[in-house]
Structure formats: C-alpha cells, structure tokens
Amino acid sequence: MNRIRLFSTTTSLCRAGYSTVEPVHHLVPIRKSALKPGYKELLIPKDDIRSVGYKPKNIQHDRVNDYYENQLKSDLMLRLYEHDSETVIGSKLRPWETDSPYKLYRRARKPKGFYRPQKDIKPVTFKNVPELTSISINLYSKEALEESWVNISTRLQIAQITNAKPKRIYNKSNVLPWKVRQGKPCGCKVELVEEDMTQFLSTLTELVLPRIRTFKGISKKSGDKNGNITFGLNPDDIKFFPEIENFQDLYPNLFGFHITFKTSARTDDQARLLLSSLGLPFN
Amino acid sequence: MFKQFVRFKSISNTNASTQKVVNQLSALSASRKQPKLIKLSAQDLIKHQTIQNAWKLYSDKLARENRKMLKEQYESIYNAMEELKQFPELFEAAKDDVKAPFPLEMRIPTDFPPNQPWIYNYEK
C-alpha cells in the first residue's frame, strides 16, 4: 500500500475502515479562553472577601429591619389572623371533559375571568407573615426620546437617591406620534433590596413624603392583586430628597418616577396593611 | 525657581452646559471608583472568616429565637380562639377583623428620639 499521500489519492482509500460516529469535538464548542488562569478570581463567590465583587454587608444598624423583626412581625400576624380559615384556591386552567374523543388532546381552557392561572391564598401563619421584599423604581422620561443626553441626568438622579446603579430601559415598540422608536433609551430602572431598600424607605417616609404639600397618601386603588403596590412622584417632589435638596444647582432638570413596593403579601389589602405599618399613608 | 513646562494648554471645546452633562456622566461611570481589592495575609483572612462565621452563628441564633417566639405567639392566639368558642358572643366579636391601617403616628424608632417624645394634648 502506498504510505505517501498524494493529491491523486483520497484518505478513505488509505484506511481500513471509517467511523460512522460524528467526532464529538466538532459538535461541543468549548471556549478555552474562558478557562485561562487569569479568570480564576472571578470564580470566587461574591460574599468572599477575596472576590473582586465583594461588597461588605451589615455595615450599619438597619433600624427599619429591626423594627419589623422585633415589633411589626408579631403585630401583623395578630392583625391578619383569621380563625379556622382555609386556603382560598385561585382559579386554575380548566381541562376539557372526557365525553368526546375530539376533546382528548385539546389545550386546557383559560381560568374563569383571568388569562393565566391564579395563585392560592393561604392563611397567614407564623411562617408567611407578609414582608417587604424589594422596592423597584422605574423612571420613564419623554425628554430622553428627543435629547439622548437627558438619560444621563435621569440615571444620575436615581443613582444619587438610591445608592444603587440604575439600568437603562429601552423602548419596545414604534409609535410615531410619540416619537417612540424601538431600541431607543427612554429612562432607567433599579431594584432595591435589603439595606438600600430600608434606607430609601425611611428617607421616603420621614423626609420626603411629609414635606410634599399636595400628597394625600397612596391611592387605595393601587395594586396588582398580588400584593405589589405602586405610586408615583412628580418632578417637583424629587427636590425633597436630601441628596438633591442640598445640591439643587447641579440638577437643573428633575424627573418624576414610579415606586413599586414588592411584598410577599398575597393580597393588596395585606400589602397595604404592611406598608401602613412602615409609615406610608393611604387615602 | 522651578516652573512646570506646559507644551499645550488643554482647551476644551465644550460649553458650560455640555460640560455639566460630561461631569454627570463621569459621576455615574464606574471608572476609578472601584476600591482596591484588600490584600489580606493568611492570618488576617482566618481572622476575618472567623468573625464572619461567628456573626453568622449569632444572627442564625437570633432568627431561630424570633421564629420560635412567633410560633408560640401564633399557638397562643389559636388556643385563645379555641377557648373563646365556649362563649359565642365573645368569639364573634374576636373574629371581626379590623380593616383599619396602622396609625400614621406610629414611627420607626430612632437612636436619637426628640426631647419631647410624646405629645400629650394631641388632636388629630
């Protein structure tokens, strides 16, 4: 057999047989550049002090959380206690009957009165006392659609107020009369948890809301039926935040935003009770 | 007398309002704001981890105690209601859930409360 491969010969002719199994290394891409030793630091979990992304926790006394844990939790449990109450089962998808063979593989019908299945409402016990899980801030500015530099000011305003870096939000659809174009930056959002959340909450209830003259309280109609309550602040109200108030000449244009209190409460009534205990008024 | 030699004086073409936006952007960006990674010796690292573990144990213990207390409170509420079933009038009265929110005068405690903590002649 000719051992020297020539252009005139083919490889299959040189071999005794050939594999019918496709070679695996062609199918599974491995990014070897991500395995290089320089990236080893990034594998350290972020709560380890050796990690690059380490952020110290418990650096100050969290009085809102302490107040909730020591005082409000048992109060709320007592207020929301209902004797001999049972789980209220939310409306679920309705499967078809089995009387006809045509109904055999049909998709289940939508729940009555809703588009998607609803969660059950369990009675409040010591295990599921409602608590504030996060505060979500959403700022949409029309001005940013016309002048793109405006979005820098919106993000800086939110970053100053909340001590967290906001994310940009983008338009999702095209609406010509509003100058809305898909993919255009139009504001920012941020999700506050733990210490940032309680700090923002206490600033809001103690320094900002009491000084807004027109503020009559959060509307009782607000809520998404799942225990999340939203209200908005006008551009005029923003100047009461101490971070803005003392440097008003640095912020020539202020922007209003929406604040959503996300709670673990199952109904809006429970969420309202929780927020009223934390010092937020309702009308 | 030493005078620093300056080849070019940097001239910015930006006007004041543009400069303001540039400043805002630089305040927002992360460059030069990330604190340096602390280089701990092996001993310091062990110290740090020991403190962290101790704090974790302590806060776990507190949480466990709180949970236990809450459970006992719940059970006592339940037992009280069960006992009240002997007196239907009282039981019905106790079952009424009050929809009123918490009073707005209830404040989150502070480290430095005001000198006059309670207004005696308070009128709404």
Find chain A residues with C-beta within 8 A of B77's C-beta: 77-78, 81
H/E run at residue A187:
strand A185-192
CB contact under 8 A, A278 and B108: yes
Tell me what pLDDT residue B35 has: 80
Smallest CA–CA distance, residue B120 to chain A, in Å, is: 21
CB contact under 8 A, A83 and B108: no
| Boundaries of every domain in chain B | 39-95
Find chain B residues with C-beta within 8 A of A273's C-beta: 101-102
Tell me what pLDDT residue A2 has: 52
CB contact under 8 A, B67 and A126: yes
Angle (deg, nearest 10), helices A150-162 and A194-203:
90
Smallest CA–CA distance, residue B11 to chain A, in Å, is: 22
- Residue pair B19/B13 in contact by the 8 Å Cβ criterion: no
Residue identified by tokens 């733990």 is: A194
At A121, is the secondary structure helix, strand, or coil?
strand
CB contact under 8 A, A50 and B40: yes
The pLDDT tens digits for A77-130 are 999 999 989 999 999 999 999 999 999 999 999 999 889 999 999 999 999 999
Tell me what pLDDT residue A3 has: 57
Q: Which of A71, A152, A249 to mutate to test the interface with B (most CBs of B within 10 A)?
A: A152
Phi, psi of A14 (to 5 degrees): -75, -25
Q: Which of A245, A256, A259, A260 is nearest to A143 (CA)?
A: A256
Smallest CA–CA distance, residue A82 to chain B, in Å, is: 7
Residues near A6 by beta carbon (within 8 Å), at least 6 away in sequence:
none
CB contact under 8 A, A61 and B111: yes
ipTM higher than the 0.90 cut: no
Confidence class of residue A175 from pLDDT cuts 50, 70 and 90? very high
B123 touches chain A (CB under 8 A): no
User: Which one-letter DSSP state was computed for residue B13?
Assistant: -
Residue ranges, chain B, pLDDT below 50: none
Find chain A residues with C-beta within 8 A of B24's C-beta: 152-153, 156
Distances (CA, A) of B50 to A275, A280, B22, B40, B45: 38, 40, 45, 14, 8
Tell me what pLDDT residue A40 has: 86
Smallest CA–CA distance, residue B71 to chain A, in Å, is: 6
* Radius of gyration for the alpha carbons in chain B, expressed in angstroms and rounded: 31
Full set of structural domains in chain A with CATH: 132-277 (3.30.1440.10)
Residue identified by tokens 């009491």 is: A210
Smallest CA–CA distance, residue A118 to chain B, in Å, is: 24
- Residue pair A168/A152 in contact by the 8 Å Cβ criterion: no
A61-72 burial, b for 16+ CB within 10 Å, e for fewer? ebebeebbbeeb
Does A10 or A58 have the greater pLDDT score? A58
Q: Which of A133, A61, A57, A279 is nearest to B110 (CA)?
A: A61
User: Which one-letter DSSP state was computed for residue A63?
Assistant: H
Give the pair of three-digit tokens for residue B73: 């409170």
CB contact under 8 A, A126 and B73: yes
Smallest CA–CA distance, residue B74 to chain A, in Å, is: 6
The pLDDT tens digits for B9-35 are 666 677 888 888 888 898 888 777 778
Residue identified by tokens 């600033």 is: A203
Closest residue on chain A to B104 (Cα): A279
**A-to-B residue pairs, Cβ atoms closer than 8 angstroms:** 86
Q: Which parts of chain B fold into alpha helices (H)?
A: 16-28, 42-84, 88-95
Tell me what pLDDT residue A255 has: 95
- Residue pair A189/A169 in contact by the 8 Å Cβ criterion: yes
Q: Residue A207's CB: how many other CB atoms inside 10 A?
A: 13
DSSP per residue over B23-55, as a string? HHHHHHS-TTTSPPPP---HHHHHHHHHHHHHH
DSSP per residue over A193-227, as a string? -HHHHHHHHHHIIIIIGGG-TT---B-TT---SSS
Find chain A residues with C-beta within 8 A of B28's C-beta: 152, 155-156, 159, 165
C-alpha–C-alpha distance, residues A240 and A161, integer Å: 11
Tell me what pLDDT residue B121 has: 77
Is the pLDDT at A13 greater than 60, yes or no? no
CB contact under 8 A, A152 and B21: yes
Sign of CA dihedral A41, A43, A44, A46: positive
